[in-house]
Structure formats: structure tokens, C-alpha cells
Amino acid sequence: MKMLSELYPGVAQDVEIKSIQINSRECSPGDLFVCTMGVTADRHDFIDDAIKHGASAIVVSRDVGSRMVPIIKVLDTNRELPYLCQKFYDYPDQKMKMIGVTGTDGKTSTATIIQTLIGSDVCGYIGTNGRSCAKFTGDNPNTTPDVHLLYPYLKEFVDCGCKYVAMEASSEAFFRGRLQSFQFDISVYTNITSEHLNIHGTFENYLQCKLQLFRQTKPDGVCVLNRDDSYFEQVKQACQGRVVTYGMADDCDLRIVDYKVSPRHTLIHFQYHDEIFEVDSPLLGDFNVYNLAAGLLAAISVGVPMEQAIARIPNIKISGRLDLLNTNTPYYVMVDYAHTPNGISKLLNFVHTLDINRSIVVIGQAGERDYLKRPIVGEVVVSNASYAIFTYEDPRSEDPKAIVDDMIQKIKDTYHNYEIVLDRREAIQKAIDMAENKDMVLILGKGNETYQKLKDRTIYFNDEEEAYQAVINRKSREEVTN
């Protein structure tokens, strides 16, 4: 807690502040309500509602008249918010080494790898899979949370004794200004392909938001770059810190010499400082060879010895990524978060290197998100999988059927290896029921998330749990039949 005068010296009326809020409905006594401009709302319009819920003071950027609580006027509430939160929570970002991970694919995996290689006792994680360190786990509302949540999360890590935090830095977070107050010690780039054009408008805008991470890296910091990605040179030009690279090129700081992917593990040879290291990784797929290389180079860059980092590789577990369920069936079931064209293509290519027969994919696309990629995803799935079942995935205010129609617009006249089952639970059951010996059922898009966002509400829904229940349902029917 702080007094309002500690945040704004000279206020005429001093009150105690316990937290900072930007949603009037979430205010309670002792809160400081900041009237930011949202995507669709001006929060100056909700001042009275915030006070009704208990807000003790208000920060504004335009004249709103007087109220029974202190009113502080600033030039720009959106720009004010991150620095206000930083001060209120005692600059937790300056008390840890900040490691930001950006890219279209692999952010969650790479950030989790970094946390594991450094050690969760001293390194926190914030991203799609929530927030965690050795002492606690929690949920996040976004991959990169709003700044009024992000700073208390960072303070949690400081209070738990963390010295580092590995954080997914999404393009939307930079676009919304959530990270403008941060300076990063380590910045990591996985890859860049087209994504989130509904937010950014153009690919160039999207790319520039990704590059902001490297512009906000400290001059004495380190930028860890994928040398093999096609946008390497543009990312390199944006770097403010020292550049180190990973990839298969001979001049990479951490070179991927070769690798062999097996159904249960991947054997990799890395070269670092002219020394060859053999690594037995629990992670599958060539994309995870790159994610692991990025994580290793980031860990080394903060001082973790190579041998120590390698010794921790067997401990890596990335929830919701390539989760092969223990179904005890003659067919296989895997749940994965893949939702971009590039991520889906790489996943399916990997799956077909395994000893399987057909691949049966259950997939949708999120409502109120990048509609331009929907037909691309649809084509990628049916051209790489044996069979596809298109269903809903967080439709929000959109009609689920309209989203699926977008997905099939390029394939409906040329492909016939798909069907539409809008209800996601029914779609998962359909895929399980179709599976024969050595078929692989892939349920994509949500990973281990525990919700679906519908038009009027958010419901509990977990793909892994639904898959297990579908297997049970099938076994029960088969027992009755037999």
C-alpha cells in the first residue's frame, strides 16, 4: 500500500491506495482508478461506477468535474499507467533480470525452457500458460497481461526471491503500450510469420511491434536471434544490445549441428565455443530443437554454465504442447496449442514422421481475431492431415458457423477430407470414435487452456479432459456392444 501523496506529491486530499484498477467493476475500497482509453471504451465514462464500487481516487486526462474523491489530472492516462504501476509496486522490473521472448510461434515453449534451464527457484515465468515460479502458480487473462496486473505479478516474483523472469512479449502487448516502461536484459526471437493482422492492419505494423522488444533491450543487454529465420536481418537492425545467434549456419554462436527426432525424445548435437555437446531432449519436433537452442543461449547469456543448463534439459515440461495423452488405446491422442498456419504445418509434418497411420485433426479459429488467416489454416490442415473436423474455438461474438465458413472457403470445391461439427465436445468425440489402430487424433488450438469464450459467457472447457472423457465414452459403448 501507498499514500496517494507518495504517487502524486502535493495532492490536496491524501488517501491510502491499496491497488490500481482500470475496470470500474473490479474496483474496491482503497483502489486508484485510472481512466485509460480502451479499445472500445473511454473509461472516463465509468468514474461514477468506479466510485460506487469503492475507488478512493481517480486519475484522468480530461476535465470531469469534481467528485467526493481526489481527482488527479495527467496529460495521457494510457502513457501514465505503466509508470504509475511501476512506482506503486516499487520497480520490481528493475530488481530482476527481465527476459522477453517474442515471435509468432514458440514463445510459450521457449520462455518455459528458459525458466527451467535457469531454475524455477530463481526464475519466474509469465505467458500463455499463466505465471509461475517454484513457490506458486497462477493464471493470466492474456499472454502478456495488462500492465496494472503485470507489475503486481512481477512483485510476487521479487517477494519469492526470484532474480529473473522469462516473459512472453506479444505483439499486441507492444501495440497496446503494456510494455513501454520496460527495459529488457535479454530479448529472444523465435520466428516471424503473418499473424494478428486484425489488430495490426498490415504485416509491416505487426513486424514493427515485434521489433520493439529489441529496441527496448538495454545497451549492455543481449539479443538472442534465430539466424535461420527469414526476418533475421530486420530483427538484427533493431537490436540495441549485443547480438548472439542460434541456428544451423556455421557462424552461429550456438550451432545446431544435427538432430534426430524419435517418438519419445530428440537427440541433438550443439556446438558452442568450438565444443560439441550431445543433448537428449524430451521435446519433440524440429521446431523444438530451435526453441531449445534459443533457451540454451538465453540461459548462457545470464551466466548459467552450459553443462548445468544441459543437465536440466530432462526436467523440461511444457504444458499443452505436444501432450500425448495416456489413453491406453490402440490409437493415439495429442493435444497442442498450435493455431497459426506455420505452427500447424510444422506440427503435422512432425507427426507424420512418426509410426502412425492417419492423422485426424480437430481445429477451429478464434472469433474476433485475425480472420485473414482462417482460410490459410483450413487449407494447411486438409493438405497436411488425413482428415479434419472443423469446430468452434472461442467464437466470442461471432457466429461459429461463419468462422468455419471462412476456414473452408479455399478448400470446399477441391478437398473432401473434412467435415464440420460445430460443437467442440461433439467434434472431439467424433474424432475419437473415428480413430483406428495407430491413427493419431490431434486436438489443436487451445492446449491446456480451461475455457471457451462464447457470445454471452465464458465456460469451463479443457481439451485434454474432453479427450479422456471421449475415450471413456467409446470404451463404454464398445463394452456394451461386445
- What does the pLDDT look like over 268-307, one tens digit per residue? 999 999 999 999 999 988 889 999 999 999 999 999 999 9
Please indicate, yes or no, whether residues 150 and 214 belong to a single structural domain of this protein: yes
| Per-residue pLDDT, 303 | 96
CATH assignment at residue 461: 3.90.190.20
| Per-residue pLDDT, 199 | 62
Q: Which residue has the cell 481445429?
A: 363
User: What is the gyration radius of the CA atoms in the chain, in angstroms?
Assistant: 24
Judge whether 87 lies within some domain: no
CATH assignment at residue 271: 3.40.1190.10
Q: Quote the DSSP letter at residue 30.
A: T
Question: Do residues 172 and 107 touch, judged by C-beta distance below 8 A?
Answer: no
| Per-residue pLDDT, 210 | 86
Please indicate, yes or no, whether residues 407 and 285 belong to a single structural domain of this protein: no
Judge whether 425 lies within some domain: yes
What is the domain range of residue 452?
A: 323-481
Please indicate, yes or no, whether residues 37 and 177 belong to a single structural domain of this protein: no
Judge whether 254 lies within some domain: yes
Q: Which residue has the cell 526470484?
A: 162
Please indicate, yes or no, whether residues 170 and 192 belong to a single structural domain of this protein: yes
Judge whether 85 lies within some domain: no
Please indicate, yes or no, whether residues 301 and 417 belong to a single structural domain of this protein: no
Closest Cα to residue 444, out of 361, 325, 357, 386? 361
3-state secondary structure of 137: strand
Judge whether 414 lies within some domain: yes
Can you state the angle between helices 341-351 and 374-384, rounded to 10 degrees?
10
Please indicate, yes or no, whether residues 472 and 349 belong to a single structural domain of this protein: yes
| Per-residue pLDDT, 299 | 98
Please indicate, yes or no, whether residues 97 and 71 belong to a single structural domain of this protein: no
Q: Which residue has the cell 465414452?
A: 473
Got the DSSP string for 139-178? --SSSS--HHHHHHHHHHHHHTT-SEEEEE--HHHHHTTT
Q: What is the pTM of this model?
A: 0.85
State how far Cα 364 lies from the chain centre.
Answer: 18
Closest Cα to residue 291, out of 235, 226, 351, 337? 226
Judge whether 378 lies within some domain: yes
Judge whether 86 lies within some domain: no
Please indicate, yes or no, whether residues 396 and 476 belong to a single structural domain of this protein: yes
What's the structural domain count of the chain? 3
Please indicate, yes or no, whether residues 311 and 332 belong to a single structural domain of this protein: no
Residues 6+ apart with CB under 8 A from 188: 99, 100, 101, 102, 103, 110, 114, 223, 224, 294, 298
Judge whether 443 lies within some domain: yes
Domain edge (last residue) among 284, 315, 346? 315
| Per-residue pLDDT, 224 | 98
Q: Which residues of the chain have pLDDT under 50?
A: none
Please indicate, yes or no, whether residues 339 and 236 belong to a single structural domain of this protein: no
Please indicate, yes or no, whether residues 110 and 218 belong to a single structural domain of this protein: yes
230-254 residue pLDDT tens:
999 999 999 999 999 999 999 999 9
Query: At residue 395, what are phi and psi to the nearest 5 degrees?
Result: -65, -25
Please indicate, yes or no, whether residues 463 and 345 belong to a single structural domain of this protein: yes
